[in-house]
Amino acid sequence: MAHIRMLDPATRPVEPPAGRLQILRRDCPEAGTVVAFRNQRLTDLASVLRGRPAADAPRLARRLQPASGWAQGLACLGAIEAAAGRRPDPDTARARALLAQAESALGMITHAGLDWPRLFGWEPRLRHLRYARAALDALVARLWRGRDPLDPAARAAAAFEAEPAASALIEALETAVLPRAPVDPARLADWAARDRAPFARLIRAASRLCLAAPPPDAVPVPGLSDLAAALAADPGFGRAPHLGGVAGDPTAFARLPAVPGAARFGPVGARLLAQAGQAQAAIEALARLDPPPVATSAPCPGTGAALVEGVRGPLVHLVRLDGGDRIDLVASVAPTEWMLHPAGPLAATLAALPAERLMRDAPLVLAAHDPGTRVTLRQEATAES
């Protein structure tokens, strides 16, 4: 029987590096597969931002977490404004939502150009990735006209100014992620079942994975108000978030409506198909120039929270001000922390892979769950402690 546990450096002889994942295969067959996580953020935002001027914090948050930099900065900025009782003007609020959506689209195109080709030994497709990065830069330039989007005083132009850049991102998504895919989500499963597009082939490959046990049902993470309350009560909540012992699933598989016909691809292929549905939703939002806004709340005076939707799910920052213009507390919960919880769906799915196929099939499981951190896969035979 498979079991999942966190590695404890004090009692466990093997420990994966910070932010990495390790798979251990026991000598004793009845012990099953152990999926061991040691997830530690490379930078503690709270210690870096505490005492800093609030106006500087969003830019620092972006630099400290470059992989999701704009989302980090926008979540921090939204939380600060909520704590101070301020709201951006409508054009600026919409521009920030477009920026978050554009960064999410770039993440999807990065998967298509770099991550997925590696799974099959294909050549990376950098042209679409460079094109998408240029489009994101153009969107920022058009909406903020030389000003920093994370400057609290910066005001953005009207959303229609971003239309050429948004169109370029749509073209990149349609070409790199969903070539020849139907616009109707109800026909997306048929596309995945037949088309030779790299993503469709990836979905079909994942559908052939054998699992020893079905993974648990996906439980979506709660909304902003519940997460803000959890972070306010326990600033360390984001290190290993859970819902009464159950790890929520931040991905599109749990949060978006199921793509019709997804069940034919099995639990892993269905997750990848959900990413295709997410890419379709991004195209629609960019075409309307009206993606989901940055949600904010103020759980108590002087404290604010904000939620930004990213490619891997919702990112939440909570900020408490010191009564002036400086940061007293920062707490956050990111999709990676949900995904790398030892009781979460990623760990359960990895543990359900047959031991003899772990190293071959684990990369497909990781692609379907998208944990958002570099993963080192290592399989060892160890004696029972």
Is 310 in a helix, a strand, or coil? strand
Higher pLDDT, 356 or 267: 267
pLDDT at 243: 80
Of 136, 159, 365, 26, the residue nearest 377 (C-alpha): 365
Average pLDDT, stretch 281-300? 95
How far is residue 292's CA from residue 186's CA, in Å, rounded to a whole number?
A: 22
What residues contact 170, with CB distance under 8 A and at least 6 apart? 283, 286, 287
Q: Residue 15: what pLDDT?
A: 40
Express each pLDDT in 175-202 by its tens digit: 999 999 999 999 999 999 999 999 999 9
Q: Which domains does the chain have, with CATH numbers?
A: 3-382 (1.10.645.10)
Q: What pLDDT sits at residue 266?
A: 95
Residues 278, 279, 280, 282: is their CA dihedral positive or negative?
positive
Global pTM value: 0.90
Sheet with 313-321, strands from edge to edge, namely: 295-300, 303-310, 313-321, 327-333
As a whole number, mean pLDDT of residues 244-265 equals 91
Q: What is the pLDDT of residue 33?
A: 62
pLDDT value of position 1? 30
Residue 160 gets which letter from DSSP?
Answer: G
Confidence of residue 17 (pLDDT cuts 50, 70, 90): very low
CB atoms within 10 A of CB 115: 16
pLDDT value at 340 more than 90: no
Q: Is the dihedral of CA 304, 309, 312, 313 positive or negative?
A: positive
- pLDDT tens by residue, 128-160: 999 999 999 999 999 999 999 999 999 999 999
Taking residues 307-312, report their average pLDDT.
95
Model confidence at 8, in pLDDT bands (50, 70, 90)? very low
Please check whether residue 290 is in contact with residue 277, taking contact to mean a CB–CB distance below 8 angstroms. Answer: no
pLDDT in tens, 41-95: 545 788 889 999 999 999 999 998 887 889 999 999 999 999 999 999 999 999 9
pLDDT computed for residue 381 by the predictor: 54
pLDDT band at 27 (very low <50, low <70, confident <90, very high): very low
Q: State yes or no: pLDDT of 313 exceeds 90.
A: yes
Say if residue 204's pLDDT is above 70.
yes
Q: Is the pLDDT of residue 207 over 70?
A: yes
Q: pLDDT band for position 350 (50/70/90)?
A: confident
pLDDT of residue 23: 54
Q: Are 100 and 310 in contact (CB under 8 A)?
A: yes
Find, among 142, 104, 93, 90, the residue nearest to 285 by Cα: 104
pLDDT, residue 214, reads 87
In degrees and rounded to multiples of 5, residue 254 shows phi and psi of -90, -30
